[in-house]
Structure 1
Amino acid sequence: MKKIRNLLVLSCVLLGLSGCSDWLTIQPETQITEEDMFKTQGGFYDALTGCYVLMRNNYSPDGVMVLGATEYMANLWYTNVQSGTSYEYVIHNYRADLVDKTLSQLFLNQYEIIANTNNLLEHIDAQDNVLSSGERDLYKGEVLGLRAFIHFDLIRLWGPMPTQVNENYLYLPYALTVQLENHPYSNYRNYMTQLCADLDSAELLLQRVDPAVAGNAYQSTYGSYRKNRMNYYAVLGLQARVHLWLGEREEALRYARLVRDAVNESGSKVFSLGTQSDLNRYDRVLYSSEQLFGVSLEEFADNLVADGNTPSFSQTTARLTDLFPSRDIRSQLWYAARGDNRSPNKYGNMASYDTETPAPNFSVPLIRLSEMYLIIAECADLTEANTAYTEFLAARGLETTELTEANREGILQLEYLKEFYGEGQMFYVYKRLGTVTMRWSERANGVDDYVLPLPSRELSTTEN
């Protein structure tokens, strides 16, 4: 049986089984032993916060999962030379030296986060009255949802195309414990069954205690930071995303509706589609209105994405003009022309030196309300689909385009591209739909492009 060898074992050694738990701390000077950390509620809080801090490695604006590798793999950045690491991503040469090293580090970082969640879950279950019942359910619900989120991104990269699953193949481990022993790989069915079980448990726990849910009496110390935590609505949104991936359209539709229709105690909507007024307040990622879940930022390599002068992340003005109608408010999320190209401006005002138009919240969105609207438009009957799509287009400053059974997939695929450009999502859309030719690509795409090979250092000598 194929098993994770070096990467996950190394993560367990460094994170879960060492004598010092500095991997959980926010500041190096606060290093304490793991035994002492979990003697207080504050220790559990810090441990959970540490899981989110680790996510910044891959989910910062300049990270592999946002503007970096996954967007190159979706052919979204312009490359004018047929060589170099960027071009290797575009042609999906995953064995190129620097590509393999980067993806190996991504693989390790993701399982490192999972090792942290598993360690925390073990301590939550073992604690004796350190946490109140509300705190226990809140923390456990968050951690289960977070574990599912990271596992899902792993299977979306290294797992099969949803329409071409080999039921006997062992794709990846679904890691449930912190251990030195190798974690066995799972087939797709077992992997996704465990992922859905984590989400179902998280949903039940958070529905009862998450302060983000109207009517819940329990109040956590998180206050207004729930949008940067795996909250109840983030779990519902992730449920919609996962069930759509599995082809379970009715379940995807049900969860997307739950998010769209969620209300506060006053009866107002919990979330609303972002509009021009949000952009006028410099909220370019629509945090205030749309974000279900995201990664909070304190700092990142802002020279890569902040001033529009970085050739690494750019697209030609001609292509973008063709993609975005002039009235589309999303066309404003690009820096002015740098030569014949433009660079993304979604995260530019999160830069350390932008003091004139700073973002109201420094957060990278990972699940947004607009995705729920597009899921409804994709999965509902045409009457409901067109109602949702019309509302979505109006928020983006556009007139109605009628969906039909003949044009729905093509129109919505293009809408995903426009809506989530620079958020690391389009590669998964292409993979889920089995798109043969990505936009602006000159080559056909297939399984070898959409299914990443395991990192070289992780390959087992035992055949599957």
Structure 2
Amino acid sequence: MKKLIIYTLLLLGFSSCNKFLDVKPDDQVYEEEVFSNERGFTKALTGVYRAMASNGLYGRSLKYGVMDLMVGYWNVQADDIVSNDFKNFRYNNGTARGQIDAIWTGLYNAVHQTNIIISYLPNIEGKPNYDIIAGEAYGLRGYLHMEILKIFGPVISQEGINAIAIPYYLTPTHKPEKYKTAKEVLDLIEADLQKAAELLKEDPIIKIGRTGNQNNPNVGDYSALLDRRGIRMNYYAAKGLLARKSLLAGDSKVAYDRAMEVINELKETEAIRFVTFDDIYDDHKDLRFTPENLFAVYNNLSYFNFSNDFVKGNGHSVAYENNLDKIYESGTGSPYDLRFVWGIDGISEEYFVKFFSPENESIPDLVNHASHELQLMNLPELYFIASEVKIEDNLEEAVSLLQDFRAARGIYDDIPNSSKAEVQQALIDEVRREYIGEGFLFSFYKRKFLPIPVTGKIVQPSLAIYKFPIPLSEDLYNPKP
């Protein structure tokens, strides 16, 4: 019988003595063997998460390494040609173009892996953890396509929702799929995320929180599916992503309702919550504010990336003076902002504090898990979605939502709120402060087609800036209409 081979992606460099990372995908395994039991499906899902955590995706490029270069967060060295190309939107120059092509390929490869998993789901239908496995796979497929749409798709506010966007893959085919409109893509994302939310409606995260472990050490084998649900696709991730999708589609009322549903549910369960002073002052300082992550992936290489990219003299430094100082130390900012005190303040002496990662973690009790989490969606985004919508029809509620969020950051000063324009600017300021290093701001600017403030100038919005080029190989074998 012919055996098809599944390749799990980018496995080198990941190791841990922690149980929730012990499920390691093999370099090369036969599909029939992998998908014969729950353990095989878990390995395959682990392969997708690890691919997402690679430097070519969320480990670096889709965070500070590419996306944040274009929104004025970093100063880079003069001889760093590729970083300067991105800072100046020269997408077609050599290595920059190569990194963009790698983002496209990496995200679609991850989609392909999820589709292989989905195609074999009937093998475990009715098994105890079927709903979790299936929910993760469908949720990942919707999430990954939404990321591709955000980066490579049209500026919907300018080009319309019926503009040609990207292909959407529903099967593990190697044949190119035809390009779909943004509306068609968003409808398919909606279907995948709705299915994920339904399958995950009894997700353990609801009862045990994002870092809990539902495995019984005295009964049965350990399952990574039941441990640290916050670094896997989970119920709250699927529900939150539906709100993000609705805002991207222009369905503002639906986006508001969905965001508030998750906000209110989390107030009850506290499965995901705002960071507290105790989290920051603890021996394992949580400078990445991980209790707020609805969805994240785990990257064991965080220390190496930190030391290569942020330690003084190694690449990136925060472009603070004449740019970010205007939002942290004036206007709607505050020197008491936790993000400033624990992430920005003091950077000129050594490094960008937020991404600090300890070097020696060979002793399990000393591992700072928070320093390895890569945020993919967090609780503040839901407040920003709801507030943005309410700016148009209920300014008082919009301000209240922003003030609730600001209080969680240690800011109690009122924002200017006499007009929509003032509240809109306060929202933009909060988003800029919140997502330094997270790769979020560029897509926020793109969706709203905003100018980009960088050191010493304002970059005016354009389609050329906000749309990454499709890889040449894709254009050759699957030309865009």
TM-score range, shorter chain: 0.7 to 0.9
CA contact (8 A) 1:214 1:263 kept: no
CA contact (8 A) 1:170 1:187 kept: yes
Match of 2:218 in 1: none
Match of 1:176 in 2: 170
Aligned: 1:261 with 2:264: yes
Match of 2:220 in 1: none
Identity %, equivalent residues: 24
Match of 2:279 in 1: 278
Aligned: 1:452 with 2:468: yes
Aligned: 1:405 with 2:420: yes
CA contact (8 A) 2:6 2:31 kept: yes
Cα shift readout 1:24-58 (whole Å, capped 9, x = no counterpart): 78657674321111111111111111111111125
Larger displacement relative to structure 2 (318-327 or 244-253):
318-327
Match of 1:92 in 2: 89
Match of 2:18 in 1: none
Cα shift readout 1:83-122 (whole Å, capped 9, x = no counterpart): 8211211121110011111111111110010000000000
Paired with 1:213 and 1:322, the residues of 2 have a C-alpha distance of 39
In the TM superposition, what is the alpha-carbon distance from 1:160 to its structure 2 partner? 0.9
The residue matched to 1:57 in structure 2 has which SS? coil
Aligned pair partner of 2:368 in 347, 359, 363: 359
Match of 1:23 in 2: 8
CA contact (8 A) 1:66 1:423 kept: yes
Match of 2:51 in 1: 54
In the TM superposition, what is the alpha-carbon distance from 1:297 to its structure 2 partner? 1.9
Larger displacement relative to structure 2 (134-143 or 171-180):
134-143
Match of 1:368 in 2: 378
CA contact (8 A) 1:174 1:186 kept: yes
CA contact (8 A) 1:61 1:305 kept: no
Match of 1:424 in 2: 439
CA contact (8 A) 1:260 1:271 kept: no
CA RMSD of aligned residues (A): 3.0
Paired with 1:259 and 1:350, the residues of 2 have a C-alpha distance of 33
- Letter of the structure 2 residue corresponding to residue 329 of structure 1: L
Match of 2:339 in 1: 330
Paired with 1:170 and 1:192, the residues of 2 have a C-alpha distance of 12
- Letter of the structure 2 residue corresponding to residue 327 of structure 1: Y
Paired with 1:386 and 1:352, the residues of 2 have a C-alpha distance of 44
Paired with 2:278 and 2:431, the residues of 1 have a C-alpha distance of 22
In the TM superposition, what is the alpha-carbon distance from 1:253 to its structure 2 partner? 1.1
Paired with 1:405 and 1:442, the residues of 2 have a C-alpha distance of 22
Match of 1:312 in 2: 316
In the TM superposition, what is the alpha-carbon distance from 1:358 to its structure 2 partner? 6.0
Aligned pair partner of 1:414 in 418, 424, 429: 429
Describe the shift of the 1:364–1:307 C-alpha distance in structure 2 as closer, same or farther (beyond 3 A): same
The residue matched to 2:421 in structure 1 has which SS? coil
Match of 1:232 in 2: 235
In the TM superposition, what is the alpha-carbon distance from 1:345 to its structure 2 partner? 2.1
Aligned pair partner of 2:405 in 387, 392, 397: 392
The residue matched to 2:273 in structure 1 has which SS? coil
Describe the shift of the 1:352–1:241 C-alpha distance in structure 2 as closer, same or farther (beyond 3 A): farther
In the TM superposition, what is the alpha-carbon distance from 1:354 to its structure 2 partner? 11
Aligned pair partner of 2:356 in 321, 337, 348: 348
5 Å-filtered alignment, 1:179-190, equals: 179-190=173-184
Match of 1:293 in 2: 295
CA contact (8 A) 1:430 1:438 kept: no
In the TM superposition, what is the alpha-carbon distance from 1:138 to its structure 2 partner? 1.6
- Letter of the structure 2 residue corresponding to residue 460 of structure 1: L
Q: TM-score, normalised by structure 2?
A: 0.83
Paired with 1:42 and 1:391, the residues of 2 have a C-alpha distance of 43
Match of 1:9 in 2: none
CA contact (8 A) 1:329 1:396 kept: yes
Aligned pair partner of 1:108 in 102, 105, 109: 105
Aligned length: 438
Paired with 1:162 and 1:352, the residues of 2 have a C-alpha distance of 46
Paired with 2:113 and 2:192, the residues of 1 have a C-alpha distance of 16
CA contact (8 A) 1:344 1:422 kept: no
Paired with 1:177 and 1:350, the residues of 2 have a C-alpha distance of 41
Larger displacement relative to structure 2 (68-77 or 151-160):
68-77
CA contact (8 A) 2:53 2:59 kept: no
In the TM superposition, what is the alpha-carbon distance from 1:256 to its structure 2 partner? 1.3
Aligned: 1:244 with 2:247: yes
Larger displacement relative to structure 2 (412-421 or 376-385):
376-385
Paired with 1:246 and 1:239, the residues of 2 have a C-alpha distance of 10
The residue matched to 2:165 in structure 1 has which SS? strand
CA contact (8 A) 1:67 1:313 kept: no
CA contact (8 A) 2:8 2:47 kept: yes
In the TM superposition, what is the alpha-carbon distance from 1:336 to its structure 2 partner? 2.9
Match of 2:15 in 1: none
Describe the shift of the 1:262–1:270 C-alpha distance in structure 2 as closer, same or farther (beyond 3 A): farther
Paired with 2:362 and 2:62, the residues of 1 have a C-alpha distance of 24
Describe the shift of the 1:445–1:386 C-alpha distance in structure 2 as closer, same or farther (beyond 3 A): closer
Gapped regions of structure 2 (runs ≥ 5): 12-22, 216-222, 329-333
In the TM superposition, what is the alpha-carbon distance from 1:460 to its structure 2 partner? 3.1
Match of 1:11 in 2: none
Match of 1:120 in 2: 117
Paired with 2:359 and 2:245, the residues of 1 have a C-alpha distance of 32
The residue matched to 2:296 in structure 1 has which SS? strand
Gapped regions of structure 1 (runs ≥ 5): 1-16
Paired with 2:32 and 2:453, the residues of 1 have a C-alpha distance of 51
Describe the shift of the 1:463–1:417 C-alpha distance in structure 2 as closer, same or farther (beyond 3 A): closer
Q: TM-score, normalised by structure 1?
A: 0.86
The residue matched to 2:354 in structure 1 has which SS? coil
CA contact (8 A) 2:166 2:180 kept: yes
Describe the shift of the 1:71–1:274 C-alpha distance in structure 2 as closer, same or farther (beyond 3 A): same
Match of 1:13 in 2: none
Larger displacement relative to structure 2 (186-195 or 399-408):
399-408
In the TM superposition, what is the alpha-carbon distance from 1:304 to its structure 2 partner? 2.2
In the TM superposition, what is the alpha-carbon distance from 1:308 to its structure 2 partner? 4.3
The residue matched to 1:171 in structure 2 has which SS? strand
In the TM superposition, what is the alpha-carbon distance from 1:363 to its structure 2 partner? 0.8
Match of 1:8 in 2: none
Paired with 2:3 and 2:345, the residues of 1 have a C-alpha distance of 46
